[in-house]
């Protein structure tokens, strides 16, 4: 994807043939002008020393959906500890400049009572582990945002603030709901947006629509426009699609194209709980948007080969600035397949898929790169 912004005009000022204040004496002899030809002006070049190139690496993971059997497995004498469960994949996350995750089960804390399916509430220690592995931003708009009511949302947002992790898709006031979180790394600014198709039939309290962002094209279009003004790169999280379907449906593809045309640079899909492939969307202005239709489950208690499979998306964003323009390019798409193992609803552990089932790992790699053949795999 390339996005070019013209920042300065290159002005060519003609040289004056007469210096200010100079006069010529009249001459009696008339000299005939020699014939001349028009020469092309020299092509303006930008010295290399004024060209600046910067890069930022972005990592993204899917659903962090903590079932009761998972937090029971992580229980200790003093609380909960999920850190050992993600230790194997930690290096793949913390090496990125910016990492984003989909916080699907609300982190409302033990104080209001923990719960799993169908109305989730996770311990604060889940957030602690996400901080520990390098997560910088969480998407909060999903079908479980309102599972445990306003108190859980308030607790979660306050705890993310306490950890210094940015959140998007849910807010506690109308004013905060209008804010678009940004993160700047190496002089490249990213903005983050998040929306969901619904909340499992749970109605948002009247007048508190800011508690969760719902997919509304007019709202998304407006927010994308504002996000473009605030940042170099707009990252859009969409909680959409049909659960357990391994390919995107027509509605997902149409909405992704709409978002791309309106300024989304990177689109991260969630909700199906299984991996769906990545793609490039060509926009009418000649640009390209990178989309991954579903990042699947990252860490959850769901069973089944495809539901236990997730991964880490890696992207590099390059910013080139010279005297005349600024260009943003998304390059080097890569993926790390992961797998959550367990035994009799115990010993939940995140592992690299290649170490669990090499043949299945190859199948997943082929699936994720079917529309992006240049996709690399970091394992």
Q: What share of the chain is helix, strand, coil (3-state, %, to 5)?
A: 25, 30, 45
Per residue in 102-132, pLDDT (tens digit) is 999 999 999 999 999 999 999 999 999 999 9
Residues 6+ away with beta carbon under 8 Å from 156:
103, 106, 107, 108, 109, 127, 140, 167, 170
Structural domains of the chain, ranges and CATH numbers in brackets: 52-377 (3.60.21.10)
> Is this structure's pTM higher than 0.85?
yes
Per residue in 53-66, pLDDT (tens digit) is 999 999 999 999 99
Per residue in 262-311, pLDDT (tens digit) is 999 999 999 999 999 999 999 999 999 999 999 999 999 999 999 999 99
| Residues 48/325, Cβ–Cβ less than 8 Å | no
DSSP structural state of residue 50: G
| Angle, CA of 167, 144 and 369, to the nearest 5° | 75
| Tally of residues, the chain | 379
Q: 166 in helix, strand or coil?
A: strand
Tell me the residue ranges of DSSP E strands in the chain: 2-6, 52-65, 98-103, 137-139, 166-168, 182-185, 188-196, 233-239, 266-270, 275-282, 288-295, 297-300, 309-321, 325-343, 346-352, 376-377
Peptide bond before residue 208 is cis, with ω within 30 degrees of 0: no
Residue 13 has a pLDDT of 37
Residue keyed to tokens 């795999």: 377
Other residues' Cβ atoms within 10 Å of the Cβ of residue 371: 12
| Residues 224/263, Cβ–Cβ less than 8 Å | yes
Q: How confident is the model at residue 50 (pLDDT cuts 50, 70, 90)?
A: confident
Residue keyed to tokens 């992006």: 372
Residue 33 has a pLDDT of 47
Residue 4 has a pLDDT of 62
Compute the average pLDDT of residues 172-183. Answer: 98
**Cα–Cα distance list, 204 to 52, 170, 350 (Å):** 47, 12, 34
What the block records as the tokens of 348 is 């939940």
Pick left, alpha or beta for residue 153 (phi over 0 → left; psi -120 to 50 → alpha; otherwise beta): alpha
Buried/exposed code over 288-316 (b: 16+ C-beta within 10 A; e: otherwise): bbbbbbbbbbbbbbbeeebbbbbbbbbbb
Give the separation between CA 190 and CA 187, rounded to whole angstroms.
10
Give the separation between CA 190 and CA 89, rounded to whole angstroms.
24
Please determine, for residue 40, whether its predicted confidence score (pLDDT) is greater than 60: no
Task: Quote the mean pLDDT of the chain.
Answer: 91
Pick left, alpha or beta for residue 63 (phi over 0 → left; psi -120 to 50 → alpha; otherwise beta): beta
Largest Cα–Cα distance in the chain?
Answer: 111
| Residues 106/121, Cβ–Cβ less than 8 Å | yes
Least confident piece of the model among 27-36, 250-259, 270-279, 313-322: 27-36
Helices (H) and strands (E) in the chain, counts: 9, 16
Give the separation between CA 278 and CA 371, rounded to whole angstroms.
6
Please determine, for residue 15, whether its predicted confidence score (pLDDT) is greater than 90: no
Please determine, for residue 26, whether its predicted confidence score (pLDDT) is greater than 90: no
Residues 6+ away with beta carbon under 8 Å from 66:
105, 116, 120, 122, 123, 126, 299, 300, 301
The whole-angstrom distance between residue 100's C-alpha and the CA centroid of its chain comes to 6
Q: Nearest CA to 368 among 62, 83, 43, 129?
A: 62
């Amino acid at each position: 994807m390339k996005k070019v912004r013209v920042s300065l005009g290159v002005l060519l000022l003609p040289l004056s043939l007469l210096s200010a204040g100079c006069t010529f004496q009249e001459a009696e002899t008339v000299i005939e002008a020699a014939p001349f030809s028009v020469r092309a002006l020299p092509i303006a070049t930008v010295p290399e020393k004024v060209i600046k190139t910067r890069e930022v690496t972005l990592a993204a993971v899917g659903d962090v959906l903590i079932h009761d059997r998972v937090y029971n497995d992580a229980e200790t004498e003093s609380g909960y500890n999920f850190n050992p469960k993600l230790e194997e994949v930690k290096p793949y996350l913390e090496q990125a400049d910016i990492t984003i995750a989909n916080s699907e089960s609300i982190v409302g804390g033990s104080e209001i009572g923990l719960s799993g399916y169908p109305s989730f509430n996770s311990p604060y220690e889940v957030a602690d582990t996400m901080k520990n592995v390098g997560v910088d931003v969480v998407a909060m708009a999903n079908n479980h945002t309102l599972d445990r009511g306003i108190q859980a949302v308030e607790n979660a947002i306050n705890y993310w603030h306490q950890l210094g992790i940015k959140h998007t898709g849910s807010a506690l006031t109308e004013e905060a709901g209008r804010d678009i979180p940004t993160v700047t790394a190496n002089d490249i600014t990213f903005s983050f947006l998040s929306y969901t198709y619904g909340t499992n039939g749970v109605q948002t309290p009247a007048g508190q629509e800011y508690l969760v962002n719902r997919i509304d094209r007019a709202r998304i279009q407006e927010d994308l426009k504002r996000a473009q003004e605030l940042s170099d790169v707009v990252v859009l999280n969409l909680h959409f699609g049909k659960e357990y379907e391994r390919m995107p449906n027509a509605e997902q593809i149409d909405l992704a194209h709409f978002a791309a045309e309106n300024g989304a640079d990177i689109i991260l899909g969630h909700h199906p709980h299984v991996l769906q492939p990545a793609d490039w969307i060509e926009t009418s202005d000649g640009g390209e948007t990178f989309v991954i239709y579903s990042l699947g489950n990252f860490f959850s208690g769901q069973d089944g080969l495809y539901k236990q499979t997730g991964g880490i998306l890696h992207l590099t964003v390059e910013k080139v600035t010279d005297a005349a323009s600024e260009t943003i390019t998304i390059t080097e798409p890569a993926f790390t397949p992961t797998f959550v193992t367990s035994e009799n609803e115990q010993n939940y552990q995140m592992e690299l898929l290649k170490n669990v089932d090499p043949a299945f790992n190859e199948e997943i790699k082929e699936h994720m790169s079917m529309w992006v053949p240049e996709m690399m795999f970091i394992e």
